[in-house]
Each structure stands twice: as C-alpha cells, then as structure tokens.
A and B are shown apart, each in its own frame.
Chain A
C-alpha cells in the first residue's frame, strides 16, 4: 500500500504541476482574441490561424487542467441526497464512481483518441479554413487530457482505498455546495478588503 500511495503522490504532483501551469494559456487566448478584434477593425486584417489558436489554447487549458480539477474534488456534484448519507457511504459512492463511472469512460475515450490523433499526425492534416493550423496538436490535447484523467483516476482510487482503511486523512472532507458558497463568499470579502488596504497604502 505504501508503494501505491507513493505512486499516487507522484501522479498528483504531475497533474497539479500541469493544472497550475496551463492557466496561462487562457491568458494568452484572451490577449490573442482581443488583439485579433482590434487588428481586424483597425487594419482590416485577420488570420484564421489566430482565430483557431484561441480555441487550441482554451482547449489545451481546460483539458489538461481537468485531472487537477478532479484531484481538487472540484467537478461539481448534485449533493442533495449525497449530503444526507453518512461519511462512510459517501466514500463508497466515490470509490464506486471512480471505478465504474469515471475509469471506463476515460479509458475508452483514450483508447479511441489514440488512432484519431495518430491519423491526423500521420496525414499531416491541416484545418480546412484557409491559412488554418495543423490539426494534430488539438487532437493531441484531447488525448493528453483524457490520458491524464486515466492516471488521476488511478491515483484517486488508491487514495480512496487508503482513506477507507484509515491509512490517510481525507484531503477533501465533504461540505455541501451551499456551505461552499458561503465559504467562498467570506474568502472573497476578505480578499477584497486586503486589496483595498494595499491600494490605500499605495496611495499614501
């Protein structure tokens, strides 16, 4: 079990690193999109490759971040019944879900995406829009996103078993979506107050 937990920690570190890095791709997409709009209006020039680049970047970020979102337990649930169960039952539901809902789906998609990506790479397919981008990187992001979910699912299963055996603390004890909303609200209020203080300090 210790070996498995070490594996799980390794997986978590990788997905966390990736998940925290890809946020900047969205920033890049924002800058490209805004720049594109301005350039098109002012210089009457636009490029399909820049248009496609925006969703390549967005796709890469949400797909590659999904494993980290899973690790942080932030894929939303409907907790109206779930919240009424005992902690033990909730752990069982999670384990059941990881094994029978999540893993089969992401495994199947990964398996289907390998030839799909390979075909585009092998043919050197290019977008049908004139001046469009080469296609395989976009397909590769899909593949990589699902592959990361497969390994993250394995890590989650290991952790869930360890939690149920009492070998580790639950890193994400259950709180309902409404309690979560209250916590987020309070955190935001605090943050805005701190920024206000900083800004006031700067003005002095």
Chain B
C-alpha cells in the first residue's frame, strides 16, 4: 500500500493541489503550502518509492536561490512597467477622445460605431493593454450612443466586451510577457508571433459586424445626420493622408543618401510630425484649411500611434528590450497625460499603488509556484504529465486541441497568471516532445486565455461592461427619450457570437502555424523574398530600379514593421528562466 502511494505521488499531489486551491485561501500561499506538505511526505516516502521520489531535506536549501531567481528575472520587470503605463493611460482620457473621434469618422456608414469600437479596441490594446480600461471607456462613451441610435443591445455589448479583450492578445499584453517567460522564449519573438493572429482576429470581428449589417441592417444603423457633430470632410482627411505619404516619401529619398536604412523610419516620422504640427497650427490660428473632422482625427490619432511606435516599434527594431520598451512607454504615457492636462501627483501615486499591488500578488504566485515545482519535479510529476499527454491520439493536433479545451475549461476559475505559472510549465516537455514550436504554442494558449475574458458567465470583460452599462431605464441626454437599460442576459448573449469567433480563431492558429512562425524570419525561402519585395518597391530608392538590385543587399531597410525579423531574429532580451 505504502509503495503504491509512494509511486503515485505525482497524481496524488496534483489532485490535492486542486483541493488546496479550491479551498479559497490566497493562491500564492496555497501553492507554496502544497509544495511544502508534499515535500515532507515525499522525503518520508522516498525509500518506498523505488526511485521515483528524489527528495531529501537538503534540497530545501535551494529555495533561497530559486527565490533570488524570481527576483532577478529581467523579463518580468516588464510587468510593472506596462501595468503602470496602462493605468496612467486609462486616466489620460485618450480612449475617450479616440472613441469620440473615430465614432464620428465611421459613424455615417452602417455598423460604423461598431467598427469604431473594434478599431479603437485594437489601438488601445496596442497601448494600454488593460482589458478593464478599454471596456470601461467603450461602455461609457460608445454604448450610450449605440443605444441612442437604435443598435441591437446584444451586438452593442458583445462588440464592446470582445474588442476590450483584444488587449490580451495584441502586444504589449502582459499575458504574452508571462507566457514568454514561462515557456523560456524571448518576449520579442512572442510579440512578433502575436501580431498577425491579433490582426486576423480583429478582422474576424469586423467581418462579423459586416455580416450583421448585411443580414440585419436595423441592428447596426448608421448615425443620423444630426448626430455627426464633426461634420463632413473625409476628402480633406484623404488629402492630408496623401500629403503625409508624399512628404514621408520625399523625406525618405532625401535622407537615404546620408541615413541609409534608417531613412524609412525617419522619413515616415517627419511626414507624421509635419502633418500633426500643421493640424495644430491650422486649428489654433483658425485658418481651417482642413475640415474639422480631418483636424480632429489627426490630432487624436497621432499621439497613441506615436506611443505604439515608441514601445512596439523600438522593440521590433531591436533598439530596446521589451522591458525598456515598457519603461519608455510608461514615460511616454506620463507625457501624454500631461499634454491632456490630466497628470497630477494623485494619478501617479494611484497608478504606482495599483502597479505595486499587482506586482506583489503576481510575483508571489510565482514564488509559490517555485516551491510547488521543486516538489512536483522531485516526485517526477513532469514525467507523469508528459507521459499522460504525449500518448494522446492525434499527435500534435490532438495535443493542441486537448490542451486548448483544458485551458478553456480551467480558465473558468483560474486567471491567466495562475494558468501560466502552474499549468504552462508542465506542458512544455510534452509540447517539445511532439515537436511543437513554443511561440506557436504560446499564441494558441494566449488566444484561449483571451477567450476566458469574454466567456459568460465568468468573463471579466462582461463584468467591467456591466459596471458601466445602464441597468434600468434612463432618459437619454440628447434625445430626451426614455431608453431601456441593458440586461445582464443581453450582455451574455451578445458575447456568444464572439466566443464562437474565438474558438474558430484557435482552430485557425492551429491549422495555419505560418501566422505565427514568421517570427523566425522568412529570409530562408527565396520565393518569399521575391513576393515581398514588390510590396516595398514604392519606397525603394529610385523607384523600380531598386527592386531587383537590392534583393540580396543586407542593408536594404524595408519600411514595414515586419522587416526587422528578416535580419534580426533575436530581438528580445536573453531569457533568464529561473
């Protein structure tokens, strides 16, 4: 009997961990206690285990070094930096301005407000990276407008909740940082891998709204004329955009002589800064050569785009590590808040308090997980899990599907930090044994974890939306009409189509690993290079002449974000896996 227990310590330990966690005591310390209790039992039972338990008391002496490893992990430093940045930005009013303006821009078309929500959701995801902030801003700004002009309540609340969760999958999301750390990969690669799936997912949301607008046009009406406060003037905006492109291209040609590969970015920067300054002058002097819409769009969109470049651009170009990118983003967010007159000591102190609180509980879950894993590996738990999962039918695909289902279900009651620190490390060995690329695997996990944010009835995005959506009926401020509130049932039903899209997305990422695998760079395949170059040709020096000649030139600076992965596959900081 005692041998039987000793030889099956791993499953016993795992089941009891579930019991420990469900008890409801803080996760960090339940994990540590579980590790400690089974450490003691393991040492006692080791002689009966036939060699499957390799624990003895002296092994506990390695804990301080393991704790030190958690503390000195440079990758995880990005957590407080990006958290701080997100909290400052959510108080900066940036989201509100974006929603107002983009809503005006897209409003005149059918489904326009919903597209605006998706577009702004993706933009916010690339800056704040906080689900709560995006959902709350949209719930406060866009939801009342959508209700006012007759949007279907389910579509309106669903699109807001789902767009808010984009923050989980589009870089610089915390999920991706934590997953990269736990999978032992660089954050830069994880970010690069997440970009296309993030954009595809955004596209699927748009596609859904498009379908709704065709099949059920009265669910997503266009804004009536009287609601278009910024007036018309899309032509003026198009002219402005054309001017930016011309200016940027001109600057590129001019700078290429002296700056070489950097000319693309410098040229684009000059074009963007010029139009921003022009819009600013145009507005303040009352010259008004541009339409009000164009002014507003330029002045509202450029600061967040600059911030995205400051953070993601520098990371992808290899100028900054993700940690430094986070720090620069944090400083940038302070500037942005100051520009909008929203910065004071209270805001900074509150942001720091929330950041410290989050850091403390996240890092202590990791500390608890270090104690747990010391014992779990000592009773050969990793081998047990590997054995369990490698033997699954269906090879790679079977494993990925089962893990997705598992994570989907576990996410009902574990949040992504707990999943990442407890479950993910156990999945590495089986994934590698099946030859699965860990970045690809990480993105699949990330989409699953994102889904858990909008899945009724547990998804947190739904609760954030609930907190700001009107419960009972209210009198609309603009029309003076009594409007019914949004029921919790409507919020839940609205999320369902998006959960289905998420499941489809998981399937897509599994079916098309190329979406992720481009992070490794595409230089190896000459046919790909030939396909890519024509796309860049308009910006190549001397127009068509550049095309063929620059194919092999290593210093040919391609103008898009994709390009850096061609030459510099190792963008991120070296990963320290404690």
Contact = CB atoms under 8 A, between A and B. Distances in A.
A43 B74 CA distance: 23
A32 B81 CA distance: 11
Contacts of B30: 97, 101
Contacts of A90: 24
A112 B466 contact: no
Nearest to B131: A181
B23 interface: yes
Interface stretch (A4-12, A165-173, A190-198): A190-198
B340 A199 contact: yes
A69 B413 CA distance: 22
Contact of A116 (B29, B64, B77, B364): B64
Contacts of B133: 188
B23 A181 contact: no
B320 A62 contact: no
B327 A141 contact: no
Contacts of A184: 132, 464, 467
Contacts of A34: 324, 327-328, 330-331
Contacts of B328: 34, 37-38
B357 interface: yes
A41 B319 contact: yes
Contact of A104 (B25, B33, B139, B418): B33
Nearest to A19: B356
Given A33-B81, A105-B33, A183 B324 contact: no
A134 interface: no
A70 to B, nearest CB: 8
Q: How large is the interface on A (under 10, 10 to 19, 20 to 34, 35 or more residues)?
A: 35 or more
A79 B370 CA distance: 23
Contacts of B68: 138-139, 142
B60 A108 contact: yes
B63 A109 contact: yes
B266 interface: no
B72 A55 contact: yes
B33 A58 contact: no
A40 B463 CA distance: 43
A16 B303 CA distance: 37
A74 B72 contact: no
B72 A138 contact: yes
A29 interface: yes
Contacts of B466: 182, 185
Contacts of A68: 360
| SS class, residues of chain A in contact with chain B | helix
A81 interface: yes
A22 to B, nearest CB: 7
Nearest to A62: B359
A78 B359 contact: no
A88 interface: no
Interface residues of B, number: 84
A97 B20 CA distance: 10
Contacts of B91: 191-192, 195
Contacts of A181: 132, 460, 463-464, 467
Of A54, A72, A141, A188, which is in contact with the most chain B CB atoms at under 10 Å from its CB? A188
Interface string A77-98: 1111111010000100110110
Contacts of B27: 75-78
A156 to B, nearest CB: 11
A79 B356 contact: no
Interface stretch (B344-352, B426-434, B494-502): B344-352
A63 interface: yes
B355 interface: yes
B342 A195 contact: yes
A170 B276 CA distance: 55
Question: Taking each of B29, B60, B331, B418, which has the highest tally of chain A beta carbons within 10 Å of its own beta carbon?
Answer: B29
A23 interface: yes
B349 A29 contact: no
Contacts of A182: 463-464, 466-467
A76 B25 contact: no
Contact of B363 (A62, A76, A139, A196): A62
B371 A93 contact: no
B467 A26 contact: no
Given A116-B64, A142-B64, A93 B90 contact: no
Contacts of A52: 72
A24 interface: yes
Interface string B58-101: 00110111011001111001001100100000110100100000
Interface of B: 20-30, 32-33, 36, 60-61, 63-65, 67-68, 71-74, 77, 80-81, 84, 90-91, 93, 96, 132-133, 135-137, 139-140, 314, 319-321, 323-328, 330-331, 340-342, 347-349, 352-353, 355-357, 359-361, 363-365, 371, 412-415, 417-418, 458, 460, 463-468
9 interchain residue pairs of minimum CB distance: A82-B24, A185-B467, A97-B25, A33-B327, A101-B33, A75-B26, A37-B324, A23-B352, A116-B64
Given A78-B27, A93-B23, 12 more contacts: A20-B353, A68-B360, A72-B357, A78-B418, A97-B33, A109-B63, A141-B71, A142-B64, A184-B464, A188-B132, A189-B140, A195-B347
